[in-house]
A and B are shown apart, each in its own frame.
Chain A
Amino acid sequence: MSALSFHFDIDGEDFSSAGEASVAVKKKLRQLGFPSDVIRRCSIAMYEGEINMVIHANGGTADVLVEPDKITMILEDHGPGIPDVELAMKEGYSTSTEQIRNMGFGAGMGLPNMKRYTESLEIDTKVGVGTKLTMVVCV
């Protein structure tokens, strides 16, 4: 199998469509016959990233590169950026509003989950410019 790539535009206005890209990636990986734990880890990481872009950055883009031995997910937005990455990586730390929390988000588990379920998580962020996350899940 040669490398396959998928591109998604994440709509920042719409919470109801958040998760669409993750669900689509899950379906594709399943069709391609990846092991279920790999699919699960990709789904979780991708969903957290997608939700973060909707909550904090008014949407963005997601590119997924599928290779036989690894899956790379690149999520990019032009949101506010993360002022203190170390703090944002702490479980339970969240800057979400009460409204977001009422929807079941804002537990401060987004970035920690992304780190926990991927082999590598690179965060390239600049305040006022945006954030680019590169996550790799090895098969």
Chain B
Amino acid sequence: MTVQELAERLSLTPICVAEPDREVEGGYIGDLLSWVMGNAQSGDAWITIMSNDNVVAVAVLTDVALVILSEGVTLDERVRGLAEKKGVNIYTTPLSSFAIGAKVAALL
């Protein structure tokens, strides 16, 4: 399933769409960045409530397919600009990490 399809099926709100055709292969939920660095896999949908610059860096380094900000978290304009520059797909949802994680898992 592509990022675009996943976003549509789960009614995710786009924040930065850089590579909508990217394939989503798995998922990871976490807010501790070192933990995410060490465990998220390339192609994952990474679900987090963190919204600072480092989310963009970790998304680039782990090569996740997209970041889903849960609990209605959004990015300020500066961080959004950074995501655009680095080509990171970022969406937001009002659902909790647990709830959106369950939905992602059901689709994959």
A-to-B contact residues, CB < 8 Å: 15-16, 18-20, 22-23, 26, 36, 40, 43-44, 47-48, 51, 103-105, 107-110, 113, 116-117
Cross-interface CB contact of B32 among A23, A36, A40, A107, cutoff 8 Å: A107
State in angstroms the CA–CA spacing of A16 and B76 once bound together: 13
A103 touches B86 (CB 8 A): no
Cross-interface CB contact of B35 among A23, A26, A109, cutoff 8 Å: A109
Cross-interface CB contact of B42 among A36, A107, A113, cutoff 8 Å: A36
B38 touches A117 (CB 8 A): yes
Tell me the interface secondary structure of chain B in the complex.
helix
B54 touches A48 (CB 8 A): no
For the complex, is B17 an interface residue (Cβ under 8 Å from A)?
no
Interface centre among B31, B33, B56, B86 (most CB of A within 10 A): B33
Report chain B residues within 8 Å CB of A105: 32-34, 54
Which 4 residue pairs spanning A and B have beta carbons closest together? A19-B57, A109-B34, A107-B32, A104-B33
Q: Assuming A104-B33, A109-B38, A113-B38, is B60 touching A26 (CB within 8 A)?
A: yes
Cross-interface CB contact of B38 among A23, A36, A44, cutoff 8 Å: A44
Cross-interface CB contact of A18 among B35, B54, B86, cutoff 8 Å: B54
Report chain A residues within 8 Å CB of B31: 104
Cross-interface CB contact of B34 among A18, A26, A36, A110, cutoff 8 Å: A110
A15 touches B34 (CB 8 A): no
Report chain A residues within 8 Å CB of B37: 44, 47-48, 109, 113
Report chain B residues within 8 Å CB of A23: 57, 60-61, 86
A22 touches B32 (CB 8 A): no
